[in-house]
Amino acid sequence: MIADITIGQFMPGKSFIHKLDPRMKIIVMTALIIFVFLAKNMFSMGLMLGFVLVAMLLTRISPVMYFKGLKAIWFLIVFTSVLNMLYLRGDTVLFQWSFFTVTKEGLWQSAFIAMRLVLIIIISSMLTYTTSPTDLTAAIERLLKPLNVVKVPVHELAMMMTIALRFIPTLLEETEKIMNAQKARGADLESGGMMKRAKALIPILIPLFISSFRRAFELATAMDCRCYTGGEGRTRLNVLRYRFRDIFAFVLVAAACGGIIYLNTLAPALVH
């Protein structure tokens, strides 16, 4: 039941985007997110929108899934656009009622900001939908490796992420077991006000904590037995390798970014 929840909602597939090296995916998707903010007129935003939509279709994941991602924050999008629409004053007044004024400039700007939010969600969903958590962790570890120089424990952080991902389903399953056990003893978890329900969680959280510490201890022993001594001198089963398609994707995204910069010069900016 609740153990079915998967973090990041990876959807396995064999599309071009699925097959990209996870490091390249992180790099180009970060670049795209930055350029979402740099697209300032209709031409450049149009190019960005078109590019992201084509990429979205290339993942062969149903657009419905992307809309599901948007559903979670639609309120935020509507709220910020309405605020923007009302607060930003321009010269061309379209509509006025008591102290509400809607101007053409304000309307454009709020439309752009809404579009930016939507694009960011789509781009980041694209990353998590097409990349397994394991690949994502490996890529983050590899990409952040230079930070080792400034004493950031990159390997340890990646190891922690892997173990967290590994144990989320196990702990969810355990939570469910403990909840059932407490219910069987007459615990009431559903009724009452906030305080009462929060208090009812204590007999679930305490056993969960204790067992987590025991697990951590046992896991540490098991890792010791398997000669784990940290990141130093470790090799990997699956080595990440850039292939031709990664270079191709990079060039494509770079071209799109260049295009956005160029198109920005063709018409006045509609957003700041």
Partner 1 sequence: MEHTNITSDNLEVQISAQDVYFAYESTDGGEPKEVLHGVSIDIRKGEFVALLGHNGSGKSTMAKHMNAILLPSGGKVLVGGMDTADEELLTEIRRTVGMVFQNPDNQLVATIVEEDVAFGPENLGVPSEEIRVLVDDALKTVGMYEYRRHAPHKLSGGQKQRVAIAGIIAMRPKCIVFDEPTAMLDPRGRQEVMDTIDKLTGELGITVVLITHYMDEAARADRVIIINDGKILTEGTPKEVFSQIDMLRAVHLDVPQPTELAQSLRDMGFSGIPADILTPEECAKAIFAARQQQ
End-to-end CA distance of the chain: 46
Cα(169)–Cα(48) distance, rounded to whole angstroms?
Answer: 37
Q: Which of residues 238-257 bind partner 1 (CB under 8 A)?
A: 238-239
79 binds partner 1 (CB under 8 A): no
Kindly state the number of chain residues that form the binding site for partner 1, as judged by CB under 8 A. 30
Least separation in angstroms between residue 249's CB and partner 1 is 24
Task: With H, G, I as helix, E, B as strand and everything else as coil, classify residue 25.
Answer: helix
236 binds partner 1 (CB under 8 A): yes
Nearer to partner 1, 155 or 245 (CB): 155
177 binds partner 1 (CB under 8 A): no
Among residues 68, 71, 89, 166, the one that binds partner 1 under rule CB under 8 A: 166
218 binds partner 1 (CB under 8 A): yes
2 binds partner 1 (CB under 8 A): no
* Per-residue CA distances from 147 to 24, 34, 118, 158, 208 (Å): 18, 21, 31, 13, 35
Least separation in angstroms between residue 250's CB and partner 1 is 24
Least separation in angstroms between residue 216's CB and partner 1 is 9
Cα(93)–Cα(11) distance, rounded to whole angstroms?
Answer: 47
224 binds partner 1 (CB under 8 A): yes
Among residues 30, 162, 175, 182, the one that binds partner 1 under rule CB under 8 A: 162
227 binds partner 1 (CB under 8 A): yes
Stated as kind and residue range, the H or E segment containing 16 is: helix 16-19
215 binds partner 1 (CB under 8 A): yes
Spell out a b/e string for 67-104, using b for 16 or more CB atoms within 10 Å of the CB, else e: eebeeeeeeebeebbeebbeebeeeeeeeeeeeebbbe
State the Cα angle at 243 between 241 and 246, rounded to 5°: 105
181 binds partner 1 (CB under 8 A): no
210 binds partner 1 (CB under 8 A): no
183 binds partner 1 (CB under 8 A): no
150 binds partner 1 (CB under 8 A): no
Among residues 31, 65, 165, 201, the one that binds partner 1 under rule CB under 8 A: 165
156 binds partner 1 (CB under 8 A): no
234 binds partner 1 (CB under 8 A): yes
Least separation in angstroms between residue 20's CB and partner 1 is 19
Nearest to 259 by CA among 116, 47, 46: 47
Nearest to 220 by CA among 135, 157, 159: 159
* Per-residue CA distances from 35 to 13, 123, 200 (Å): 27, 12, 48
Residue located via tokens 């960005």: 48
Site for partner 1, rule CB under 8 A: 3, 132-134, 162-163, 165-166, 169-170, 173, 215, 218-219, 221-229, 233-239
